[in-house]
Structure 1
Amino acid sequence: MTPAILFLEKQHAVFTLHPYECSAQDDFGAHAASQLHVPLNQVFKTLLTEGEQGAVVALVPSSSKVNLKRLAKAAGVKKLEMMPPAKAERLTGYKVGGISPFAQKKRLITVVDASALQHTEILVSGGKRGLSLGVSADLLQNLLDAVIAEIA
């Protein structure tokens, strides 16, 4: 049981669990998509960025890269850069490859790529490597006060 799952259960949220064997050392999204037999653009990676105004979480399809200028604009900040992995782990309480957008140590501004709206369910990290959660974009928006914008 991860903090992300406990959080969703406490909220009485509708979600699905998708465990898989994780042997990847990088490109965790592509590995999850392959193991779970889902399109790569349906598996969203959780990326941590930072700027002068603080940290921002970006959720983008594993088939894409985040556009930092679009992300900054959507988050209402001046400029963002990718956060070093060790700092992302300290800030969220999760290990890289298992950083969930839910139940992070600190509530951060979260922006979800608009492509999530094309899917009934997207997969995000469940809080550890080898576990994805199936959720709707609406759920992300409601539970995380997430902004939906074109950031990929």
Structure 2
Amino acid sequence: MAKRTRTSGGTPATVALTAAGIAFEVRPYEHDPRATSYGMEAAEALGADPARVFKTLLASLDGRLVVGIVPVSGQLDLKALARALGGSKAVMADVAAAERATGYVAGGISPVGQKRAHPTVLDDSALEHETILVSGGRRGFDVELAPRDLVAVTAAVTATIARRD
């Protein structure tokens, strides 16, 4: 996978990845505004296995925002997320709060390049893949990178935080 250098027109995510020297590939696709599941839409549009496409979700853990990154083929287990970060109770964050805290819109929240760094957990199933896809910072725009690079750039921990459907 070639490293992409984006000098203009990039998102905060691609700018942060480039600045960190992380190899990534941009994977744009035509976003359908009628889509009900942004993650499954990305997997289908990109012809990717849904187990390799990850969604970025924000939760409130004991009053602070945290990030859970799970495959689009599953759901975030809030109890497992709380355990992974040493907290007691996690609930899904309000969409408006998530957008304000990250600087991204729902359906395009990237785990990389957020306004403020948040404690982050990547589901350990990501480590089974050479590369995974995550939002690149807007709807219809994913980036493909090695999961260990995502861990490094976000200072994430890995744990089983996804419930498989």
What range describes the TM-score normalised by the shorter chain of this pair?
over 0.9
* Of 115, 118, 121, the match for 2:125: 115
SS class of match (1:65): strand
- 1:147 matched to which residue of 2? 157
* Of 101, 107, 127, the match for 2:111: 101
Separation in 1 of the partners of 2:65 and 2:112?
Answer: 15
1:52 deviates by: 2.2
- 1:42 matched to which residue of 2? 52
CA contact (8 A) 1:47 1:59 kept: yes
Which letter does structure 1 place at the counterpart of 2:70?
A: V
Matched, 1:58 2:68: yes
1:51 deviates by: 2.5
> Cα RMSD between the aligned structures?
0.9
Detail structure 1 runs of 4+ shifted over 3 Å in the superposition: none
- 1:134 matched to which residue of 2? 144
Separation in 1 of the partners of 2:28 and 2:63?
Answer: 36
Name whichever of 116-125 and 137-146 sits farther off. Answer: 137-146
Give percent identity, aligned residues only. 43
Q: Deviations over 1:87-141 (max 9, x none)?
A: 1101100000100001111110000001001110000000000100001111111
Separation in 2 of the partners of 1:51 and 1:150?
Answer: 17
Which letter does structure 1 place at the counterpart of 2:26?
A: L
CA contact (8 A) 1:18 1:133 kept: yes
- 2:30 matched to which residue of 1? 21
- TM-score (ref. length: structure 1): 0.97
SS class of match (1:70): helix
Which letter does structure 2 place at the counterpart of 1:110?
A: T
* Of 10, 14, 38, the match for 1:5: 14
CA contact (8 A) 1:26 1:97 kept: no
Name whichever of 44-53 and 27-36 sits farther off. Answer: 44-53
Specify every segment of 5 or more residues in structure 2 that has no aligned partner in the other structure, as ranges: 1-9
Which letter does structure 2 place at the counterpart of 1:17?
A: V
Separation in 2 of the partners of 1:3 and 1:101?
Answer: 10
1:143 deviates by: 1.2
Separation in 2 of the partners of 1:75 and 1:20?
Answer: 33
CA contact (8 A) 1:53 1:77 kept: no
1:53 deviates by: 4.3
Specify every segment of 5 or more residues in structure 1 that has no aligned partner in the other structure, as ranges: none
- TM-score (ref. length: structure 2): 0.89
Name whichever of 24-33 and 82-91 sits farther off. Answer: 24-33
SS class of match (1:120): coil
* Of 85, 92, 102, the match for 1:75: 85
